[in-house]
Amino acid sequence: MAPKYHGVDFYAIDSLLSEEERAVRDTVRTWVDGELMPVIGDAYLEGKFPKHLIPGMAELGLFGANLPEEYGCAGLNNVAYGLIMQELERGDSGVRSFASVQGALVMYPIYAFGSDDQKRTWLPQMASGKAIGCFGLTEPDHGSNPAGMITVARETKDGWVLNGAKMWITNGSTAHVAVVWAKTGAPDDSGSIRGFLVPTDTRGFSAKDQKGKLSLRASDTSELVLQDVHLPKDAILPKSGGLKSPLMCLTQARYGISWGALGAAMACYDEAVSYAKNRVMFGKPIGGFQLQQARLAEMLTEITKAQLLVLQLGRLKDQGSMTPQQVSLAKRNNVSMATDVARETRRLLGANGILAEYQAMRHLANLESVYTYEGTHDVHTLVLGQEITGISAFE
Amino acid sequence: MKIAVCIKRVPDSETRVKTAADGKSLDDAGVKFILNPYDEFAVEEALQRKEKAGAGEVVVLALGGPAGQETIRTALAMGADRGILLQTDAVPPDAFVTAQAIAAELKAGGPWDLVFFGKMAIDDYNGAVGPMVAELLDLPCVTAVSHLAIEGATVTADREIEGAVEVVRCALPAVLTTDKGINEPRYPALKGIMAAKKKPLDVKAVALAAGVIEVLEMTPPPARKEGKIVGEGATAVPELVRLLREEAKVL
C-alpha cells in the first residue's frame, strides 16, 4: 500500500486558510484517500469513469460547492471550492473534470443565465448528483476559436430547433442535460450565441463516446450530434448573450483547473519524495544523489509558487475583483508546472514510473489534456500578450 | 434520545511528534491535530442512535485548550447538535481530574440516555476517563464496544476480547466506549462544515482539581539498530540460521 498522502506545505500556507477552508480540504482529502485512490488505477486502465462515486461526491457536497445553499449547494467561498478541486485532482484529473463540468460549466451557467424556473428545476437535482450535466461549446472544427461555431438554433412558432455537432464533451454520454451553445443569428454573428438546456433524451440528440484516448481515461469524453432537436421556448438560458456567456463559464472552470493541476503536482511530488527516500541504488537511497535532489528542489519550489498564486487568485475572486486574464495566467502556469512535475516524477521513478501502480504517468498523461483543454496553453499565452500590449494576436 | 459524546483533540497518528523542551510534554509546533479516531466512532454511533430514535440531541463535550473548539466543530460538521468546551490550559495528566470535570458538566446538563467515549485516546492510551466518568455518575459502563444493539432500555454490546467476542447486557442510561468496527464514521459533508459554524458551542472555563499523577519525563523510543546483512543467496542461509539461534536466540 502506498504511504499516506500528506499534501505539500513548505511555506505554512495552511496558516493563510481559515479553519473552515482547512476542514473542507481535509474532508475531501480523506474521501479521496478512502474512496477514489483504491479504484482509480483500475478505472484508468479500463477507460471508465468510476460512476459509483457520484452519490458519495454529491453527499459530500462537491458539485457546485460555491453556489448558494438555497439551491442545495454548499455555499462555500472560492478558496474552499479551489481546495476541493485541488484534492480531487490529487486523485485524478478525470474525476476533477467531472466535478468541474458539473459545477462550473453546467450548474454555473444555469445559476448565472438561467430563469428562476430553470434554477429551481436543475440546480438541486445536479447538486444531489441525480442529474448529470455536460457543456457543449467546442466543435470538431472550432476549438480555440469558438466564435466560428456552426451549431445553429432557429426560432420557430413554439420554440427552437437546434442543429450541429459538438466534440470533446466531458460527461457527454452520462449527462441528463446538456448546456448547448448555438448561434441564433447569421453564421458570422458570434454576438448571437445563446445557451440552451437540452435534456439528453430529446429526440434528435445523440452522444457517442470518443474511443482511443490515451489521456483522461477515467473520464467520459463524447461527441454530441444535434439533428433537428426541437426544444420548447423556455429551453433558452434567458440571460445568456454572445460568446461572452460561455467564456464566463470557462473562466469559472479554469479557475478550478488552476487549483486542480496543483493537486496533481502535489500528488506527484509526494510520490517522488517517498520513492526517492526508499529506492536504494548504488548502496544509498536515490534521494541522496544530487540529480534527484535537484529534481525535488525544483518541484517543491514550483509547487510552492503555484500554491501562493492560486490562493491569491481565490481571494481576489472572493472579493469580486478577479479578472479572466489573471485566471489565464494561473491556468497556464499551474498546468504547465504540473505537467513538468509529473514528467520529472515519472523519470525519477525509473521503470516503475511507467506502471499504473504508481501515479506519475497517469497524471502526466492526464495533464497533457488539461494543458490543451479550457483554453490551450498557447491561447492563454496570447490572452496575456493581448492584456500586456493591448494588441490582439488572434485577429 | 439525549446523547453526550466526550471527545479529545489528539495529534494525527501520521505526524512525527517531538518532545518539548521541558522533556515532559509534546511540542505542538507543526503538529496536525485531529479528532481522536476512537471518538469518531463514538460521534458516528451517537448520530446513528439519534437518527434511529427519530428525535433527540447529540451534545459533544471536550476538555482542553481553546483549539479544542476546532475539534468540536469537526463533530458538529458530522452532524452533532451542539458543543461544549471545558477550557483549561492543558489536558491534565491525571485521568481522574479530567473525569471529575466532565462528570460535573454531564451531571449539570443531564440526564442523558447515553454517554459515549472512544475506548481510548491515541495519544496517551489511558482508556480511563470513560469508566471513571461512569463511576462518578453511578452509571453502568461497557468499554470497547464493537457492536451495539439497543432494545427499549436494554443495551446489548459486543466486545472483542482476546480470542473471543464477549456479549454483555446493561440497562440505559449507560456509558459506552467505542472500538473500531462498531460503525463506519461518515465524512463531514461540506454543508455540515458550513452549518457547524452556526451551531452553539459553549466555552466554559473550568478550574481543575489537583491531580495525584505527575509526568516525570517523556522520551522517544530508542532508534532501531541498523540491520545486518549476513550474505546473499542460498549460501548465506546456514550463517543466518546460526545467528538467529545463537545471537538473536529466536530459534
A196 and A81 together in one domain: no
Q: Where a domain ends, among A127, A155, A182? A: A127
Q: CA geometry: angle at A41 spanning A34 and A367, to 5°?
A: 105
Task: Give me chain A's average pLDDT, please.
Answer: 96
Give domain status of residue A2, yes or no. Answer: no
Take residue B180 and report the three cell numbers written for it. Answer: 473500531
Counting Cβ atoms within 10 Å, is residue B71 exposed (0-12), middle (13-18) or buried (19+)? Answer: buried
Q: How many CA atoms lie within 13 A of A334 on its CB side?
A: 33
With CB atoms and an 8 Å threshold, state whether A23 touches B197. Answer: no
User: Are A189 and A301 found together in one domain?
Assistant: no
3-state secondary structure of A289: coil
Which alpha helices (DSSP H) does chain A contain, by range?
Answer: 19-31, 37-46, 54-60, 78-91, 93-100, 108-113, 116-127, 244-278, 290-319, 324-348, 360-372, 377-389
* A283, A355: one domain: yes
Residue A226 lies in a domain: yes
Residue A19 contacts B where some CB pair is shorter than 8 Å? yes
Q: Which residue among B14, B193, B197 sits closest to A27, beta carbon to beta carbon? A: B193
Q: pLDDT tens digits, chain B, 251 residues: what are they?
A: 999 999 999 998 877 888 889 988 888 888 889 999 999 999 999 999 999 999 999 999 999 999 999 999 999 999 999 999 999 998 999 999 999 999 999 999 989 999 999 999 999 999 999 999 999 999 999 999 999 999 999 999 999 999 999 999 999 999 999 999 999 999 999 999 999 999 999 999 999 999 999 999 988 888 888 777 888 888 889 989 998 898 888 87
User: Does A203 lie in the same domain as A96?
Assistant: no
**Distance (Å, rounded) from C-alpha B5 to C-alpha B2?**
10
Does A196 lie in the same domain as A122?
no
Q: Which amino acid is at B226?
A: E
pLDDT computed for residue B29 by the predictor: 82
Query: Would residue A1 count as lying in a domain?
Result: no
Q: How confident is the model at residue A261 (pLDDT cuts 50, 70, 90)?
A: very high
Judge contact between A259 and A335, C-beta under 8 A. no
Q: Is residue A7 part of a domain?
A: no
Residue A306 lies inside a defined structural domain of this protein? yes
Per-residue pLDDT of A161-206, as tens digits, reads 999 999 999 999 999 999 999 999 999 999 999 999 999 999 999 9
Neighbours of A327 (CB within 10 A): 27
Q: In 3-state terms, what secondary structure has residue A18? A: coil
- Does some domain include residue A344? yes
Mutate to test the interface with B, among A4, A9, A19 (most CBs of B within 10 A): A19
pLDDT higher than 60, residue A1: no
Instruction: State the pLDDT confidence band at A277, using cuts at 50, 70 and 90.
Output: very high
Same domain, A146 and A222: yes
Per-residue pLDDT tens over the stretch B45-92: 999 999 999 999 999 999 999 999 999 999 999 999 999 999 999 899
Domain containing A99 equals 13-127
Give me the torsion for CA of A148, A153, A154, A157, rounded to 10°: -160
Share of chain A above pLDDT 70, in %: 99
Under 8 Å between Cβ of A306 and A263? no
Answer yes or no: is A54 within a domain: yes
d(CA B56, CA A318): 38
Residue B223: per-residue pLDDT = 84
Task: Confirm if B110 and B103 have CB atoms less than 8 A apart.
Answer: no
CATH number for the domain spanning A54: value is: 1.10.540.10
The answer to whether residues A138 and A121 belong to one domain is no
For A18, residues 6+ apart whose C-beta sits below 8 A from its C-beta are: none
Domains held by chain A: number: 3
The residue with cell 544530487 is A290
List, as one string, the DSSP characters of B14-66: TS--EE-TTSSSEE-TT--EEE-HHHHHHHHHHHHHHHHHTS-EEEEEEEEST
Amino acid identity at A333:
N
Bridge-based pairing state of the strands B2-7 and B114-118: parallel
Q: What is the pLDDT of residue B249?
A: 85
Question: β-pairing, A280-281 with A284-285?
Answer: antiparallel
CA–CA–CA angle B190, A370, A277 (5° rounding): 80
Nearest CA among B116, B131, B113 for reference residue B78: B116
| Residue that finishes a domain, picked among A185, A206, A235 | A235
Distance CA B116, CA B2 (A): 11
Clarify whether residues A330 and A209 are in a common domain.
no
Tell whether B185 lies on the interface with A, counting CB pairs under 8 A.
no
- The single residue listed with the C-alpha cell 505527575 is B214
Chain A stretch 60-89, residues whose beta carbon is closer than 8 A to a beta carbon of chain B: 60-62, 65, 69, 74-76, 80, 84
| Whether A70 is catalytic | no
Which of B187, B190, B197 is the closest to A74 by Cβ? B190
**Same domain, yes or no, for A112 and A142?**
no
Q: Read off the CATH number of the domain in which A211 is found.
A: 2.40.110.10
How far apart are alpha carbons A288 and A292 in whole angstroms? 7
* Residue B73, CB-side half-sphere exposure with 13 Å CA sphere: 23
Please report the pLDDT score of residue A2 as a whole number. Answer: 62
Output the DSSP codes for A40-85. HHHHHHHT---GGGHHHHHHHT-TTTTS-GGGTS----HHHHHHHH
Give the predicted TM-score (pTM) of the model.
Answer: 0.90
Q: What are the tens digits of pLDDT across the range A217-234?
A: 999 999 999 999 999 999
DSSP chain B: -EEEEEE-EEE-TTS--EE-TTSSSEE-TT--EEE-HHHHHHHHHHHHHHHHHTS-EEEEEEEESTTHHHHHHHHHHHT-SEEEEEE-SS--S-HHHHHHHHHHHHHHH---SEEEEES--TTT----HHHHHHHHHT--EEEEEEEEEEETTEEEEEEEETTEEEEEEEESSEEEEE-TTS--PPP--HHHHHHHTTS-EEEEE-PPPPPS-------PPPPPPPP----SSGGGHHHHHHHHHHTS---
Are B190 and A30 an interchain contact pair (Cβ–Cβ within 8 Å)? no
Q: How far apart are CA A135 and CA A110, in angstroms?
A: 11
Report helix angle A244-278 to A360-372, nearest 10: 160
Whether residue B14 and residue A61 make contact (CB cut-off 8 A), yes or no, is no
Q: How far is B133 from chain A (nearest CA, A)?
A: 30
Residues A195 and A311 in one domain: no
The average pLDDT across A104-108 equals 96
Distance CA B48, CA B182 (A): 11
pLDDT for B247: 85
A258 with A379, same domain? yes
Is the predicted pLDDT of residue A259 greater than 60, yes or no? yes
Look at A74 and B74 and tell me if their CB atoms are within 8 Å. Answer: no
Q: Which CATH number do you get for residue A269?
A: 1.20.140.10
Residues A250 and A382 in one domain: yes
A128 touches chain B (CB under 8 A): no
* Structural domain ending residue among the three candidates A235, A260, A292: A235
Domains annotated on chain B, with CATH: 2-205 (3.40.50.620)
Task: Give the distance from residue B107's alpha carbon to the nearest chain A alpha carbon, in angstroms.
Answer: 31
